[in-house]
Structure 1
Amino acid sequence: MPLIRSHWTRPFRKYGARWSLGLLLTALALAQVSGAVRIDAIERMDTFFADLRMRLVKPVLDPRIVIVDIDEKSIAEIGHFPWNRKVVARLVSQLTGHYGVAAAGFDIVFSEADNTSGYDVLDSLASHEMKDVGGFRARVEAMKQQLDYDGLLAAALEDQPVVLGYNVAQDQRKGELPAPFFKVDDLNGRELPAVTYSGYLGNLERLQSAAATGGIFTALPDPDGILRHTPLLMRIGDGYYPTLSLATAAVALQARAIVPRWDTNVADMSARERANGALDTLLMFVGQQKMGMPIQVGENLTNLIEFRGTGGPAGGAFPYVSAADVLAGRVKKEALADRIVLIGTTAPGLLDLRATPVNSAYPGVEVHANMIKSILDHSFKVRPDYADGIEGLQVVLAGGVLALALAVLSPLPSILLAAALAAAVFGFNYWSYTGMDWVLKMAMTLVLIAAVFVLNVAWGYFFEVRRNRGLVSRFGEYVAPELVAQMAENPEQYNMDGESRELTVMFVDVRGFTTISEGLTPKQLREYINLYLTAMSEDIRSAHQGTLDKYIGDAVMAFWGAPVAFSDHASRGVATSLLMQASAQRLNQDFLARGWPELKIGIGLNSGLMHVGDMGSNIRRAYTVMGDAVNLGSRLEGITKVYGVGIAVGEATRAAAPEFTYRELDLVRVKGKNEPVAIFEPLALARDTDQATLDEVARWHAALAAVRAQRWDEADAMLAELRALAPQRGLYQLYVGRIAHYRAHPPGDQWDGVTTFETK
């Protein structure tokens, strides 16, 4: 008997501790899923997975809903936006009369009167300065109707299936509200919680009265700034008003009414149900349907937006047509006839872009298109009542199997089992989303799988990390991760002791940063500098494996060739500087779209012998470079402003990276150095440089030679041709001014052509 007991208890003695820990982790995960505990990190992971799941669904083009886009083409043809109401009236007439759309929803509010026709000026003249001119008053009165642009738009809206958009607001009431779908008194004592606002920014009364109805287009992003949910109805005062998507769908389907439907009678509801409303669906009564078309709603009448595609004309979910083409009648009738159209804009400068799970710059008008599609398809992504039970079962199965199995399996089968379970959880979640329209959480189950796996098989990995931890902690902040991995393979070859090497150093600085900081709030300035430093750091570390030395306010210092030696360190530095200027231009477009100050950077690059290593004091040390070559790199960054260029490199860098095309800028003697040095502006890889650029550079070098030979007239003529060719290039204007100075103050026969800088 003791032998039998020993046989059965041996596995528990051997694996019992790991089984217990695995099951304990499973119990903790079950507590999170049930709501007994709440871990914010898990909630954020679920949000991430939900966003990822939505991005994985491939879009299918839906021709029923068309976006009439006020795009850059439309602005170029019609003029800057907002357009006058006469143009909008023509657009409405084209859509409703010529094309016969089922409904048109405007993702635009018309809250101010349109006085662009000039009628007010004419009326004032007729009443004052020209009141005695015969016939002038009568002529002005005759023109009133055709110059009343708001009246033209109101006439175009009359008896047409057009929905005007408007905003909600707190403590502000402007314009006119449409009729609500229903009021508090219509609920027969039931509570119906909704997103509530006390005010609104509506359309002009004459326009809203002429339109079929109106819809709210206010976006309500989540706390992280991402738009994931939208109400179908909002409460303003004692009325429940539709959003633009619901209102437009109702007009297109010719709905007689939309009312709430509860699953239970108010008398049978619990106190909690009465407080929460226990609302199951809205009912849209279409045509003669007595039962109505059900529209599912979530908490506070808010639904998850099912984003399809990446948004925009190339997003793949909805067809786009240019508003200019609609106005000109260039769109085929069958493309718009009986379609639901939404009028909005994707032009970057008009700022109707939203951060969404599928795109950080998603057209706001397409948010409404996605909701309309869900309404038409009777398909909303919902979290079922039994979701917690499904998620709890996932946790118990995954945690139990892994806790028992991984303790006895070798590493490879353990990895395969954990991977298979994670894939199964993800696959089931994705199938539930796409096949059943269920929104389920899976982060806790995946975290549990990872935690149990690490508990059982990661000891060897931790040992390897411990062996290389010193090296990684030393260099992880400076160099690209792939270089740290390379160094970790042979840690004995690398150290932080001081040594002298041929390296390339870079200094980067923001132009006019003081002015920029004065024009932004502290929060905006933080985001501005963080976006800039992140982009520059990624270009340095990831693209060409540079070593990020330090941030000096808005400035960045980096170098190439240490701790990992590169024979092509100069080429990597030049290529990175060109990449950073391109990144700065892309960032600048985003900044300008936000209304932020313009971003311009100057880059100085120099190669030579430098001291590199761990330097500093007993209080603080850093892995950095020092030496004359480093100082020259810093000076070159400073004098880019003088020559009106984004990049300036030293002669040694140019010689070490001959595969690029360069424009020589000058011979300079910087502060602190007696020997002059030639400086150059890198333009592009030689193989990528077009002939026009090569010709311009050759003509410039000829002009520079004429300046150094003191042939002022010849140089002036060449510079005049170059300025006509590239009037924006400040370098040419600089030398025109220098020639004028040299004419008045001849440098003499002994002049060596060197420009001396007395300041840093």
Structure 2
Amino acid sequence: MTRVSSRLLQAGLSALFVLLIAAHVGGALHFDPIERVEAWLYDAWLKRTAPTGADDRIAILDIDEASLKSVGRWPWSRDTMTALVERLFDHYGVAAVGFDVVFAEADRSSGLDTLKALSQGELAGERAFAAALQKIAPRLDYDARFAEALAERPVSLGYYFVPEGYRATRTGTLPPWSLPPEVFGALKPGRPAAGYGANLAPFQDAAQGAGFFNMLADDDGTARQMSLVLPYGEGYYLALSASTLRIAFGGDAASAGVEQSELLGRNYLAPWLEVGGIRVPLGADGTVHVPYRAGSPFPYISAADVLAGKAPVGQLENRIVLVGSTAPGLADLRVTPFSSTFPGVEIHAHLIAGMLDGTTRVTPPWARDARLAAVLLLGAVLIVVLLRFGPALGLAATLALLGLLLAAYGAAWARFQVVPMAAPMLAVAGLYALNTAYGLFAATRSKRQITRLFGQYVPPELAAEMSRDPAHYTMEGQSRDMSVLFSDIRGFTNFSEKLSPTELSEVLNAYLSTMTRIVQQHQGTIDKYIGDAIMAFWNAPVDLADHAARAVRTALEMQAALPQLNDEFAARGWPAVKIGVGVNTGRMSVGNMGSEFRMAYTVMGDAVNLGSRLEGITKQYGVGILVTQSTVDADPVHAYMKVDEVRVKGKETPVAIYEPLGAKDRLADDVRSAAAAFDAAFAAYQKQDWDAAETALRALDAKSPRALYDVYLERIAQFRAAPPPQGWDGVYVYTTK
């Protein structure tokens, strides 16, 4: 290859790289790594700049575990809720209350319906009974009393919209829309909903306001932005945070519109919302970035303490109060840049505080054009510098351009704008890396074929066997039935923080060596190590008819090896290791894959992805190993217990998942009987026979407590409070990886 042709190829590859990133910015292509870097940059900047300190304007009334123990399981009776509302306003003098809960069902706990039935049946004609009933009926009509407590008080109820793509259910009474459909002109922010779940009509009619409490999450499951307006029917509706802020400032109607601006000869439109006299800029989709504060700025007051009058008046007086729950059983915990178990109700509090302070951030309408211009312009400049002046000056130019982009990101942030900069930054850094790698390649003038020997992946004895008949084995891509295993150390971040770098290296070496030895003992092929994670597969390159049984036996022995390994760790002062293992069997593509710079003998396909998902959800059930139906069907050696039927993220077809119990011919009687009892409990659960399922689970838990039983007991409690939709197929849906 001549020098000129080499430079032309280098320039062509560089230009193609820039154009691909530009296509991502323009929306023609989508690259997840760019979005992940964008999320990391946003989170890092948010944490670095987040304000600290307490906020004396907002408080959170927490339906916590202590409240559930004191008052009883949720939902509470309307009599209790009436007392709570009256005490908040009459005793504590709060400014406004927003409910991050929905009151969708009538309360019949007072027995009034039974008394009325008696007055028309067995006790019909009994004047004394009728007179007494007429006298006490108003006190026993808990729903009516709750509606009276809401009336004339600044209370905003909560409800939710059913997103598109879900069953279009409509329950309760939706409040009147807050904004007419034409208020945003042609922008039309937000996606129309398919339905809603709202409050009973008497409550909605009595309350001064209501707002939806739908949460948004990015692709990684993190709540960074929230919608303040959503369209439905003939108008736009307010979020709970905006509705609560509106009634706290007198209840005047909300207003909205579109602001026009011009930049470099182009016109841009941006929506805005005004509530309580406060104007809030919105993104084109009606969202704002949640202005999270560091630490714990809002006091949490137990609902039980308020009902008992034990809470300090100063913590609630003249404050906006949001009623929600941190109890794990009520499942209102979210992932945010600050925590993976963040109470959903506090997100509304941060939004209200941000609107009050004017610190909510939006992505301006010109952001995409600015990013596209940055990618193309800076990319062109850097290509010229790298081709003409070489890597040394190219490195200086790269660092200077990255600094410029970071400064632009910070300047926009200071103006309460979020202008994504990951794509331009990756274009700059990637160009330098690409050209440096190409320069090394061109300098050596070598056409080395990057091929890994099978001995790097399989046990030495297999490599020796393969060397005797090399023609029978190939690293070329092929499709075949295989079994794949993923294992991972649970809580590795916390685990690693307890060790020095040297100790962490020693721990990982000891752990990975032990587990790899087990994989190779059962003729598995090590695919890769991903930090503390192990990926292995069976039935390639060597044919193994019993690959499913080997993979499951490996998983069981990996778990069995942990006690001895942890004893060795404890002797050296190291923390104990717990792992989760996922195994799946199915059709996979296997072969030498990668780029001209790096190749790897690996497996790919949906069956591989599903195996990874299984490992990720073992901790959800408190089990060490999960396998799929296809693995169970292919393995006649081991006994299994069905754990659940799930839909994992990205899949519509339900997947049955199982816990391997051990070899069938060596299975203990108590293990076999416990598995049979759980199978019966699971069958009752899927039939929505909550009582039978709960009885069986509690009996199992009394004999031998397991986190698995607690998972289903919590689900049953949730379904009793909010029954599954009609036609529910008993499948649990995972929306995160």
Do both proteins adopt the same fold according to a TM-score greater than 0.5, normalized to the shorter chain? Answer: yes
Letter in 2 for 1:241: Y
Q: Quick check: 1:458 aligned with 2:425?
A: no
1:403 aligns with 383
**In structure 2, the residue corresponding to 1:66 is in which secondary structure?**
strand
Deviation at 1:67, TM superposition (A): 1.7
Q: What aligned pairs does 1:689-708 form with structure 2 within 5 A after superposition?
A: none
Return the match for 1:295 from 280, 288, 291. 280
Deviation string 1:35-86 (CA, Å, 9 cap, x unpaired) is 3853444663465345534653445243322221211121111111111111
**In structure 2, the residue corresponding to 1:544 is in which secondary structure?**
helix
Gaps of 5+ in 1: 1-11, 266-271, 287-291, 480-492, 500-528, 563-567, 604-632, 646-725, 731-760
Return the match for 2:417 from 438, 449, 452. 438
Distance 1:253 1:569, change over 3 A: closer
Deviation string 1:625-651 (CA, Å, 9 cap, x unpaired) is xxxxxxxx9978974644769xxxxxx
1:748 aligns with none
Letter in 2 for 1:60: T
Q: What aligned pairs does 1:308-707 form with structure 2 within 5 A after superposition?
A: 308=292, 316-356=296-336, 358-388=338-368, 390-392=370-372, 394-395=374-375, 398-400=378-380, 402-406=382-386, 418=398, 421-422=401-402, 424-426=404-406, 428-429=408-409, 431-432=410-411, 434-458=413-437, 470=451, 475=456, 496-497=463-464, 544-545=511-512, 546-547=515-516, 548=519, 549=524, 550=537, 556-558=552-554, 571-572=564-565, 599=623, 639=666, 641-642=668-669
**Aligned counterparts of 1:209 and 1:259: Cα–Cα separation in 2:** 21
1:178 aligns with 175
Deviation string 1:435-475 (CA, Å, 9 cap, x unpaired) is 12222122222322233222332369879999996558754
Deviation at 1:433, TM superposition (A): 5.1
**In structure 2, the residue corresponding to 1:257 is in which secondary structure?**
coil
Q: Quick check: 1:75 aligned with 2:68?
A: yes
Letter in 1 for 2:176: A
**In structure 2, the residue corresponding to 1:117 is in which secondary structure?**
coil
Q: Quick check: 1:56 aligned with 2:35?
A: no
1:614 aligns with none
**Aligned counterparts of 2:302 and 2:315: Cα–Cα separation in 1:** 12
Letter in 1 for 2:364: P
Letter in 2 for 1:99: Y
1:141 aligns with 134
**In structure 1, the residue corresponding to 2:290 is in which secondary structure?**
coil
Distance 1:71 1:543, change over 3 A: farther
Letter in 1 for 2:145: L
Residues 258 and 270 in structure 2, CA contact (< 8 A), matched pair in contact too: yes
2:501 aligns with none
**In structure 1, the residue corresponding to 2:254 is in which secondary structure?**
strand
Letter in 2 for 1:294: R
TM-score, normalising length: structure 1: 0.59
Deviation at 1:496, TM superposition (A): 4.0
**In structure 1, the residue corresponding to 2:149 is in which secondary structure?**
helix
Q: What aligned pairs does 1:113-262 form with structure 2 within 5 A after superposition?
A: 113-131=106-124, 135-169=128-162, 171-184=168-181, 192=188, 194-197=190-193, 199-221=195-217, 226-262=222-258
**Aligned counterparts of 2:626 and 2:668: Cα–Cα separation in 1:** 7
Residues 26 and 399 in structure 1, CA contact (< 8 A), matched pair in contact too: no
**Aligned counterparts of 1:390 and 1:356: Cα–Cα separation in 2:** 27
**Aligned counterparts of 2:151 and 2:249: Cα–Cα separation in 1:** 18
Q: Quick check: 1:86 aligned with 2:79?
A: yes
Letter in 1 for 2:292: R
1:305 aligns with 289
Deviation at 1:589, TM superposition (A): 14
**Aligned counterparts of 1:36 and 1:176: Cα–Cα separation in 2:** 39
Residues 487 and 615 in structure 2, CA contact (< 8 A), matched pair in contact too: no
Gaps of 5+ in 2: 467-482, 496-506, 525-536, 539-546, 582-612, 628-659, 673-701, 707-737
Letter in 2 for 1:544: Y
**In structure 2, the residue corresponding to 1:235 is in which secondary structure?**
strand
Residues 189 and 230 in structure 2, CA contact (< 8 A), matched pair in contact too: no
**Aligned counterparts of 1:168 and 1:569: Cα–Cα separation in 2:** 46
Distance 1:592 1:572, change over 3 A: closer
1:615 aligns with none
Residues 273 and 282 in structure 2, CA contact (< 8 A), matched pair in contact too: yes
Residues 69 and 323 in structure 1, CA contact (< 8 A), matched pair in contact too: yes
**Aligned counterparts of 1:331 and 1:206: Cα–Cα separation in 2:** 30
2:687 aligns with none
Deviation at 1:164, TM superposition (A): 0.6
**In structure 1, the residue corresponding to 2:253 is in which secondary structure?**
strand
**Aligned counterparts of 1:466 and 1:495: Cα–Cα separation in 2:** 30
**Aligned counterparts of 2:189 and 2:282: Cα–Cα separation in 1:** 12
**Aligned counterparts of 1:385 and 1:434: Cα–Cα separation in 2:** 15
Distance 1:297 1:427, change over 3 A: same
1:32 aligns with 23
Deviation at 1:124, TM superposition (A): 1.8
**Aligned counterparts of 2:189 and 2:626: Cα–Cα separation in 1:** 55
Deviation at 1:378, TM superposition (A): 2.1
Residues 22 and 403 in structure 1, CA contact (< 8 A), matched pair in contact too: no
**Aligned counterparts of 1:84 and 1:560: Cα–Cα separation in 2:** 48
Q: Which runs of 4+ in 1 moved over 6 A?
A: 12-15, 188-191, 408-413, 460-468, 529-532, 536-543, 559-562, 573-578, 587-594, 633-638
- Largest Rg, 1 or 2: 1
Residues 490 and 579 in structure 2, CA contact (< 8 A), matched pair in contact too: no
1:486 aligns with none
**Aligned counterparts of 1:104 and 1:640: Cα–Cα separation in 2:** 57
Deviation string 1:358-399 (CA, Å, 9 cap, x unpaired) is 544432222322322222122332223443454355435643
Distance 1:450 1:329, change over 3 A: same
1:616 aligns with none
**Aligned counterparts of 1:634 and 1:179: Cα–Cα separation in 2:** 56
**In structure 2, the residue corresponding to 1:342 is in which secondary structure?**
strand
Between 1:237-246 and 1:223-232, the stretch displaced more is 223-232
**Aligned counterparts of 1:193 and 1:398: Cα–Cα separation in 2:** 32
Deviation string 1:650-671 (CA, Å, 9 cap, x unpaired) is xxxxxxxxxxxxxxxxxxxxxx
**Aligned counterparts of 1:329 and 1:144: Cα–Cα separation in 2:** 27
**Aligned counterparts of 1:178 and 1:498: Cα–Cα separation in 2:** 74
Report how many aligned residue pairs link the two structures.
537
Deviation at 1:336, TM superposition (A): 1.4
Letter in 2 for 1:218: N
Residues 418 and 450 in structure 1, CA contact (< 8 A), matched pair in contact too: yes
Task: Report percent identity of matched pairs.
Answer: 29
**In structure 2, the residue corresponding to 1:105 is in which secondary structure?**
strand
**Aligned counterparts of 2:101 and 2:446: Cα–Cα separation in 1:** 57
Deviation at 1:600, TM superposition (A): 6.3
**In structure 1, the residue corresponding to 2:252 is in which secondary structure?**
strand
TM-score, normalising length: structure 2: 0.60
Residues 280 and 297 in structure 1, CA contact (< 8 A), matched pair in contact too: yes
2:102 aligns with 109
Return the match for 2:11 from 17, 20, 23. 20
Return the match for 1:281 from 236, 248, 272. 272
**Aligned counterparts of 1:406 and 1:74: Cα–Cα separation in 2:** 65
